[in-house]
Structure 1
C-alpha cells in the first residue's frame, strides 16, 4: 500500500540505523480513528484490527509469506509488566529465514522484546514486526535490544501511562477484541466496570 514514510529516526531518539516504517495512508488513518474510539464494539474492533494488519503488511512481498504459520503466545503481566510465555509450538529445528510478528500494540515493548529473543535463539535471522500503534519509549527499548528488526506501524504515540499503557493508544487490544473487560469482580466481591485505560 502506498503512502508510507521511512521515519527520521533521530527525531524519535532511536539509533540511526533503526528501521521504522509509518503508514500514512488516509484510509488506514480513518480505520485507526475508529479503532481508537471507545464506543467501537468488540466485533467491529476485531474487523478493523484485521483490516489494518492487512494494510500494514501490504508491502511485504508475497514470496515472504510462506507456510508454516506458527503461534508463539505471549502476554504482559498487568502487575509486574513483565512478559509471560503461555504457548510455544515452535518446531525443534528452524527452517525459516524471515518471521513476520503480529503485535497489536507496542507499549513498554517487553513482550515483543522477549518474542524476538525467542525467535533469534530458535534461529530466525530476519524479523519484521507489524503493529497498529507503538510508543516512542517502547520503540527505543526494542531497538536498544534488537537493532536489526524492522517495525511497520500505523501510528506512534508519545506517552506511556504509569501502568505502561500507550496514551492515547486504543486500550487493551485483547480485552477489546473479545469484550472481556466489561465487568470484573473487585476484591470486596462487588462488580465494577473497568475502563480500557486501566489496563
Structure 2
C-alpha cells in the first residue's frame, strides 16, 4: 500500500499502482484518505463494466460483485463487539459489528450497489439521496433525501458507482454532516482526479474506497476512460 501526500495521482487498471500483496493501493491526501482496491478480481469486474459491449444485465452483475469487494475493504477497520456463542462443540467468543452502519446509495446509479452492500452488512440501516445532473452546467440537482434524523456516532457508507466532478458527492456528504455524521466513507467503482480533489478541498470528514482513479474528465464531464453513464449502463437510457 503506497501513500502519496498532496497530489492526486491517477491510477488506471493495467498500470503499475504500487499495490500491496493484499490487493490495495492508497493515495493519501491531506483531508481525504483514498484506498484503491486493485485486487485482480476487482480489476476483472471493472473491466467488464468498462467494456462497451457489456449488456445491462451483465453490467449490473459485475457492479454487484465489485461492490462486495469494495465494502469488504471499506469495513476493514470497523470496530467489533464480542459476544458469547455456542458452537456444536463448545462455547467460544464470537464477534459482531459494534455499531451498525448506515448505507446511503445516491440515486439512481447507486441503487445497483445497495443490495450487494446490504447483503454483506445485513444489520445496516438504509438512507437515500436523489441527485440528477444538469446536462448543460454539469452541476448536481438534488430532488429527494430520506435519511435518519441523527447520524451521530454512526459510520456511513455512501454508494455511487462514479465520482466525476464531485459536486453530487459533496452535496450528499454535506447532508450527512448536518445530521451529525463524522465517519463517512464514499464507495465508488471508479473516480476522476477532479472529483477526489473536490472532496479534498471541501474539508468534509470523508474517506474514499474505489477500484480506480482514472485519467481525467472530458468536456462533457464524463470520466476518461471511464465506463459511460453508470445509470444508463444498468437500467437503460431514459
TM above 0.5, yes or no, is: yes
Superposition map of 1:34-113 within 5 A: 34-59=48-73, 60=75, 61=78, 63=97, 64-65=100-101, 66-94=123-151, 97-113=154-170
Shift of 1:18: 2.8
Instruction: Count the aligned residue pairs.
Output: 177
SS at match of 2:212: strand
Q: Which residue of 2 aligns with 1:195?
A: none
1:111-160 CA-partner distances (Å, limit 9, x unpaired): 00100011111221110010011111110111100353110000001211
Q: Which residue of 2 aligns with 1:119?
A: 176
Superposition map of 1:164-179 within 5 A: 164-179=221-236
Question: Which TM-score applies when normalising by structure 1?
Answer: 0.81
SS at match of 1:88: strand
Moved more, 109-118 or 76-85: 76-85
Question: Which TM-score applies when normalising by structure 2?
Answer: 0.69
Unmatched runs of 5 consecutive residues or more in structure 1: 182-199
**Match of residue 21, structure 1, among 35, 40, 47:** 35
1:73-115 CA-partner distances (Å, limit 9, x unpaired): 2222222211111221224344552110001100001100100
RMSD, aligned CA: 1.9
Unmatched runs of 5 consecutive residues or more in structure 2: 10-27, 79-95, 102-122
Q: Which residue of 1 aligns with 2:4?
A: 8
